[in-house]
């Protein structure tokens, strides 16, 4: 379903029986989340854009903890895009096996690095267009690489936590990640996009869990439109 065509800044929603201005609610949410998670940031360990790209590619359908267990040995063996591009595919698959979907992930990493070497001189592209040309890279991955490796806020990475919390907190009525991203981009200033992502992820992991959130322990209960929700919505 499309979002209503009412400008986000003047949208009025019904929060727990009280009418609250949308702008007040969203700034209050972020204010509270900043207090709860003052050091919210990306959890994938990396030392350069290539390591971040590979770690994000491995993190699909896999926890960040598991990826962080895999990558030290992986990055010690494959140090450059050229190393990944010329890797023996069976050897690469073996090293990323615990991440799940390892054949596809290994192939995407190898093929992406071939393009990085052939077209970008071995440097991970720093544009949305360049990143989206790489196999296995969609907007979520591109946004994470651009904002965390290059300090460029081109969009907002919508993962499973961001998707769930954006809906529960009333920032979107969409289920399509690209539409959710647009709604979030309209709701927050560009300078906040990276921070918003990791604040929502932290809260999703700690309290606003799937399928059932821990509303009775939530600091946002007083302003959340879905306080008390019992299903995975």
Residues that bind ligand SF4 in the complex, under the rule CB under 6 A: 168-169, 207-208, 213-215, 218, 220-221, 224, 226-227, 229
The answer to whether 126 touches 146, Cβ cutoff 8 Å, is: yes
End-to-end Cα distance, the chain:
15
Provide the CB-side half-sphere exposure for 66 (13 A, CA). 14
In this complex, which beta carbon is closest to ligand SF4, that of residue 26 or of residue 110?
A: 26
**159 in catalytic set:** yes
Find where tokens 């030290």 sit: 72
Cβ distance to ligand SF4 smaller for residue 37 or 78: 37
Pick the catalytic residue: 159, 163, 183, 226?
A: 159
Angle at 40 between CA 37 and CA 43, to 5 degrees: 135
Give least dist CB 221 to ligand SF4, A: 4
CA distance 128 to 148: 13
Which DSSP letter does residue 101 get? S
For residue 210, the minimal CB distance to ligand SF4 (Å) is 10
Show the tokens assigned to 220: 């946002």
- Residue 88: count other Cβ atoms within 10 Å of its Cβ: 9
Minimum distance, C-beta of residue 13 to ligand SF4, in the bound complex (Å):
13
- Is 97 one of the annotated active-site residues of the chain? no
Q: How far is the CB of 215 from ligand SF4 (least distance, A)?
A: 3
- Name which of 116, 140, 106, 129 is nearest 50 in CA terms: 116
Residue nearer to ligand SF4 on the CB measure, 15 or 102:
15
Residues tagged active-site: 140, 159
């Amino acid at each position: 379903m499309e979002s209503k065509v009412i400008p986000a800044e003047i949208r009025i929603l019904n929060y727990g029986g009280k009418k609250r201005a949308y702008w007040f609610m969203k700034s209050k949410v972020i204010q509270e989340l900043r207090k709860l998670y003052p050091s919210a940031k990306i959890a994938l360990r990396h030392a350069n854009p290539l390591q971040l790209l590979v770690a994000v590619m491995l993190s699909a359908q896999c926890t960040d903890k598991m990826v962080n267990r895999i990558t030290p040995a992986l990055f010690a063996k494959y140090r450059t895009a050229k190393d990944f591009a010329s890797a023996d595919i069976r050897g690469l698959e073996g090293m990323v096996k615990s991440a799940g979907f390892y054949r596809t992930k290994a192939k995407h990493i190898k093929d992406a690095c071939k393009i990085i070497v052939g077209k970008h001189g071995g440097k991970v592209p720093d544009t949305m267009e360049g990143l989206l040309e790489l196999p296995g890279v969609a907007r979520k991955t591109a946004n994470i690489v651009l904002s965390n490796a290059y300090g460029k806020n081109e969009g907002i990475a919508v993962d499973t936590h961001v998707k769930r919390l954006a809906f529960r907190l009333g920032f979107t009525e969409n289920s399509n990640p690209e539409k959710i991203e647009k709604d979030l981009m309209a709701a927050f200033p560009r300078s906040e996009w990276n921070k918003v992502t990791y604040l929502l992820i932290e809260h999703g992991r700690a309290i606003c869990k799937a399928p059932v959130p821990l509303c009775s322990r939530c600091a946002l209960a007083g302003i959340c439109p879905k306080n008390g929700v019992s299903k995975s919505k």
